[in-house]
A and B are shown apart, each in its own frame.
Chain A
Amino acid sequence: MTASATRTDEVGPVLTDLELLTASRAGDVDAWDSLVARYARLVYSIGLREGLDEDEAAEVVEGAFLALLDASDGPEPVERPASWLVTMARQEIGRVERSRGERGARRPTTRPSEAAGAHRVTLTMGCEWDRVVTLHQALAQLPPDLHHLIDRAYLDHARPPVGAAMPAPTNPDDVHDTERSRALDRLRLKLTEENQS
């Protein structure tokens, strides 16, 4: 799955997470795949961030999404699928870590995100995780090209390191990074809407 995969569902008006989940429960496999494409990357990366290896992080993704599928059919409605997935991912991470402890396996000394030179940002409080979720919800509502641009420039683990110049824009006339600014403007607007809703 790549960043571009997150764009496949977005032709015309972008469906909300809840609309995708509702369609999934009605049996729409495309809606389900779109939901997976939107958030599997985030859930997987949270697992890596918390020190899991790649297989364990993949297990967390599957566990979180299957739990979402279960919950969407349960008595309590899932109103914010992204938030639900992240909460469930954190529970799954705890389960994997406990399982690893029972097996006597050692935690990796270097987390993949640290190895990649990423900033370590403390996200211990629920409200901070909420902000991460809100950011990704807003991103999912952007037009695909803008989403991809922001992903490549700011979110991907392989983005240009701090201090390095950004790659030249695709359009050679865009010398002032107008496209990147437009993408950030749209994101800022979406985040304002998300925070007000």
Chain B
Amino acid sequence: MTHSPPEPRLARLADLVEYRLSPTEEAVVRRLLQDGGPRADHALRWTRDFLALAAAVPLHDPPPAVAERLTRSFLACQEATAELEETSIEVTLALLFDSSKDRELVGTRSTDVLDDVVHLAYSSDHADLVLDISRTPTGDLRIEGQILPLEAGAEGPFESLLGLDGAEARTAVCDSHGRFSFDDVRPGPQQLRTGNGHISLVADLDLGVLGPVPTTSLTPRSTHAPRGAS
């Protein structure tokens, strides 16, 4: 029967690596390492790796308000999702501005034809919506939007759904400023629905594929299927 020499404890190895031991303690640990053979060497290597990784990102506590805001956002998202599934108030947004067509019905946003971004602005009695649509290197689109409430009932937080009737919808939770985004959106017709539990704002987007940037237009609709209807 063979007898394995005792290994130094990992805490002692960590203390050795970090120069925390007294000379006497260090001598004891080094003797155990010497006697411990490959297993002890392996334990020392693991300890060094662990300490390096731990030191790579020293942990700081975020302000408590961060967790509180995330809890509120989560609850609002749940409520908005439930409300979107059985929407009671639905508003179709009217297009006010489309930079791709170089027409400016209401001059609320600047037009820059050189920045490969299409700017859209929509309005309703309850809230305005602005969208920036850009093409990604893969040929897909990125949509960045912001909801601008005009009345108390249209205040956030909102959740947005992007999809086509009959297709799987994608959701985006708006931040505290009403901003949201969708990545990797395929060119083509899409419906954007955004709601806060009290109101659902709807816009149909025709994200075309021609040209260096997508052509975009709004097709008004009078009725909309609830989420998940297919």
The chain A residues found within 8 Å of chain B, CB to CB, are 1-3, 5, 24, 27, 29, 32-33, 36-37, 40-42, 44-46, 48-49, 54, 57-58, 61-63, 65-66, 69-70, 73-75, 112-113, 116, 118-119, 121, 123, 128, 131-132, 135, 151, 153-157, 159-160, 162-166, 176-178, 180-181, 184-185, 187-188
Interface SS of chain A: helix, strand, loop or mixed? Answer: helix
The count of chain B contact residues (Cβ–Cβ below 8 Å) is 43
- Give chain A residues whose Cβ lies under 8 Å from the Cβ of B60: 41, 44-45, 48, 112, 157
| Contacts beyond the supplied A113-B58, A132-B57, A188-B50: 11 A-B pairs with Cβ under 8 Å | A3-B61, A32-B70, A36-B71, A40-B70, A44-B62, A132-B56, A156-B58, A159-B58, A180-B11, A184-B10, A188-B10
4 interchain residue pairs of minimum CB distance: A184-B10, A181-B9, A180-B11, A157-B58
Smallest CB–CB gap between A182 and chain B, Å? Answer: 9
10 CB contacts below 8 A, A to B, read A1-B67, A32-B70, A32-B71, A36-B71, A62-B175, A63-B175, A66-B70, A121-B53, A121-B56, A180-B14
Check if B62 sits within 8 Å of A40, measured CB to CB: yes
> Is B173 an interface residue, CB under 8 A from the partner?
yes
**Complex CA distance for A5 and B60, rounded to whole angstroms:** 13
Q: Which residue of A lies closest to B21 (CB)?
A: A165
A7 to B187, CA, bound (A): 45
Report which residue of A3, A29, A154, A165 has the largest number of chain B beta carbons within 10 angstroms of its beta carbon: A154
A48 to B63, CA, bound (A): 13
Q: In the bound complex, do residue A46 and residue B173 qualify as a contact, i.e. CB atoms below 8 Å apart?
A: no
Query: Contact: B9 with A1, CB < 8 Å?
Result: no
Q: How far is the CB of B162 from chain A (nearest CB, A)?
A: 10
Cβ A73 vs Cβ B171 within 8 A:
yes
- B136 interface hit (Cβ, 8 Å): no
Chain B residues 47 to 81 lying within 8 A of chain A, measured CB to CB, are 47, 50-67, 69-71, 73-75, 77-78
Task: Report chain B residues within 8 Å CB of A157.
Answer: 58-60
Residues of A within 8 A of B70 (CB): 32, 36, 40, 61-62, 65-66
With a cutoff of 8 Å between Cβ atoms, the chain A residues found around residue B171 in the complex are: 70, 73-74
Please state if A156 and B59 are interface contacts (CB–CB under 8 Å).
Answer: yes
In the complex, chain B residues whose CB is within 8 Å of the CB of A32: 70-71, 74
Q: A63-B175, A181-B10 are in contact. Are A24 and B74 (CB under 8 A)?
A: yes
Q: Are A131 and B53 in contact (CB under 8 A)?
A: yes
CB closest chain-A residue, reference B74: A32
The CA of A40 and the CA of B61, in the complex, are separated in Å by 8
Given A29-B75, A58-B66, also A69-B173 (CB < 8 A):
yes
Min CB–CB distance A92 → chain B (angstroms): 11
Which of B10, B65, B168 lies at the interface centre, i.e. has the most chain A CB atoms within 10 A of its CB? B10
Interface residues in B136-194 (C-beta closer than 8 Å to A): 168, 170-173, 175
Q: How far is the CB of B175 from chain A (nearest CB, A)?
A: 6
Q: When the two chains form the complex, which single residue of A41, A69, A70, A188 contacts B59, counting CB atoms closer than 8 Å?
A: A41
Q: B55 near A119 (CB under 8 angstroms)? A: yes
Are B11 and A181 touching (Cβ within 8 A)?
A: yes
Residue of A nearest to B18 (CB): A162
